[in-house]
């Protein structure tokens, strides 16, 4: 908090000094004083930037911006999210979560993964060494395609709840499907079922206040994640909880790309058809997914609830392949989801299929894809033809040339809006979750993905991906090179913001 206050003090000093030097009628000595104050504040800011040890070109770029656009540049610098990539804002949560997580996994023994093939074992070893947790072999999964399948399954399981419902969403609407879910939550709470509900304060900004109060009146414990009221002053406005988690009685879990709202059922005429993927989880991985929720709940509620919950369990019941839940964000190891994606791509021997709505990758991800393509691995990237944001749409397109030149196949999904976050490698490894392939998901947002090896659900993902290819247009390099100057300008402009998208 002290550091954040000092940065706003520097900003005020810059503004005041600039005003006194340029607009004030004060005498020479007064202007000299404020000029010196301005230089000192700017020097301290530039020195602090240098100590962050970013790449040299990023450091020099920001220094140039701060020198030549001091006021506007400093404000953008503060709220770009780059200043806190090391997680200063969530140091306490991260430290507490790691300690509790270590206690939970202490008694977990490594499962027998001898059934994995070489490239699967390549990734499982990487995943274990990176996250300090192993894959589960006592988990079963079910792929849910689009909103119709997902909400039908969620509602069915919610109505079965007997002990508790724990639910966490980035976007939760007060529309028809949202009200249906809230009605079930209220009914269950009145019946004595424990219902904990947290939503991201920015993503669910339009969630009706009366609906929230109705939930509370019914006995639902409701907590917003990172309220916006003080976000400007503590800079947490830029960090959002993008996770979508439901845990029911510790037996069933849901995670994936779908938020709660009618638009995810394709009922928003402006957006049209919504293509998405969700996952139902049963077995050991539910405990891990539940732990992710409970750590978030402790943060928003201030309650110490994790020690009162069932520990991570291993079961003798054989599951389907190997499954691992991975959480990422400012409260975890920096850039862990990017590392997992990179590790997955590095272990590929035949194919890498990616479906993501937002493709603004870092240099490591781009290098992994290009190297894989050069080795003869089939690399396919599918993104929506029309995105829901100007910057994300054109920033994504700005990466087409370097990928197409290396033989990567790029497809534009034309049937509607593609929102799923799915990766399939070699047809027998996959990832489903909330994390997009962009800097915001890699560094700023709280995310959670499920990674699967030798799991029967992967066959469903392959089938769905092939169907989506039929609803997509292949981007030809020759045609892409002939795009207009206006299109190239939009791409170049949007790419300037790639580090914060």
List residues with catalytic annotation.
242, 244, 249, 419, 421, 426
Burial class (CB in 10 A: 0-12, 13-18, 19+), 166: buried
Q: What are phi and psi of 442, to 5 degrees?
A: -75, -30
Can you spell out the DSSP letters for 207-246? S-HHHHHHHHHHT-EEEEES-STTHHHHSGGG--B---EE
Q: What are phi and psi of 375, to 5 degrees?
A: -80, -5
Q: What are phi and psi of 424, to 5 degrees?
A: -125, 125
Strands (E), 97-170: 139-145, 164-169
> Is the separation of the CB atoms in 292 and 243 below 8 Å?
yes
b or e along 232-271 (b: 16 or more beta carbons within 10 Å of the residue's beta carbon)? eeebbbbbbbbbbbbbbbeebbbbbbbbbbbbbbbeeeee
Residue length of the chain: 501
Beta strands 194-200 and 221-225: pairing type? parallel
User: What is the number of alpha carbons within 13 Å of residue 312 lying toward its C-beta?
Assistant: 24
> Is the separation of the CB atoms in 332 and 356 below 8 Å?
no
Distance, in Å, from the CA atom of 329 to the CA atom of 99, rounded to the nearest integer, reads 16
Distance, in Å, from the CA atom of 359 to the CA atom of 488, rounded to the nearest integer, reads 17
Other Cβ atoms within 10 Å of 425 Cβ, number: 27
Strands (E), 45-149: 139-145
The first and second tokens of residue 116, run together, are 């994995």
Strand partners, 222: 197
What kind and span of H or E run contains 382? strand 378-384
């Amino acid at each position: 908090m002290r550091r954040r206050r000092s940065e706003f003090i520097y900003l005020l000093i810059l503004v005041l000094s600039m005003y006194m030097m340029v607009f004030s009628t004060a005498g020479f000595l007064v202007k000299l004083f404020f000029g010196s104050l301005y230089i000192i504040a700017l020097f301290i800011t530039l020195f602090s930037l240098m100590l962050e040890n970013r790449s040299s070109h990023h450091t020099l770029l920001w220094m140039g911006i701060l020198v030549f656009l001091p006021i506007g540049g400093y404000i953008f610098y503060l709220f770009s999210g780059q200043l806190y990539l090391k997680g200063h804002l969530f140091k306490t949560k991260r430290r507490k979560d790691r300690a509790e997580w270590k206690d939970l996994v202490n008694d977990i023994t490594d499962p027998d993964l001898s059934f994995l093939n070489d490239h699967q074992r390549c990734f499982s070893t990487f995943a274990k060494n990176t996250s300090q947790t192993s894959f589960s072999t006592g988990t079963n999964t079910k792929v849910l395609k689009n909103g119709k399948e997902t909400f039908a399954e969620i509602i069915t399981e919610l109505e079965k709840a007997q002990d508790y419902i724990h639910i966490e969403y980035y976007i939760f609407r007060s529309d028809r499907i949202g009200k249906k879910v809230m009605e079930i939550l209220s009914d269950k709470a009145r019946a004595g079922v424990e219902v904990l509900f947290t939503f991201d304060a920015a993503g669910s900004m339009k969630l009706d206040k009366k609906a929230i109060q109705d939930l509370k009146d019914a006995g639902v414990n409701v907590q917003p994640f990172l309220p916006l009221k003080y976000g400007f002053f503590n800079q947490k406005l830029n960090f959002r909880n993008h996770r979508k988690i439901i845990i029911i009685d510790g037996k069933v879990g849901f995670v994936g790309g779908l938020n709660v709202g009618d638009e995810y059922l394709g009922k928003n005429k402006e957006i049209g058809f919504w293509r998405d993927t969700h996952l139902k989880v049963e077995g050991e991985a539910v405990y891990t997914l539940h732990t992710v929720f409970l750590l978030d709940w402790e943060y928003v509620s201030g309650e110490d609830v994790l020690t009162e919950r069932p520990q991570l369990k291993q079961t003798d019941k054989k599951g389907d392949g190997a499954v691992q839940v991975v959480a990422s964000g400012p409260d975890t190891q920096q850039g862990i989801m990017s590392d997992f994606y990179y590790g997955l791509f590095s272990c590929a021997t035949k194919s890498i299929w990616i479906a993501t709505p937002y493709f603004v990758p870092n240099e490591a991800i781009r290098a992994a894809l290009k190297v894989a393509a050069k080795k003869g691995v089939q690399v396919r990237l599918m993104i929506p033809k029309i995105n829901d944001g100007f910057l994300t749409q054109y920033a994504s397109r700005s990466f087409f040339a370097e990928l197409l030149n290396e033989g990567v196949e790029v497809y534009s999904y034309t049937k509607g809006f593609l929102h799923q976050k799915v990766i399939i490698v070699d047809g027998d490894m996959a990832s489903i979750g909330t994390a997009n392939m962009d800097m915001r998901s890699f560094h700023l947002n709280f995310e959670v993905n499920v990674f699967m090896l030798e799991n029967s659900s992967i066959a469903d993902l392959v089938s769905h991906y092939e169907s989506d290819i039929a609803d997509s247009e292949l981007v030809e390099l020759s045609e892409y090179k002939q795009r207009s100057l206006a299109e190239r300008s939009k791409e170049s402009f949007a790419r300037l913001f790639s580090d914060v998208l």
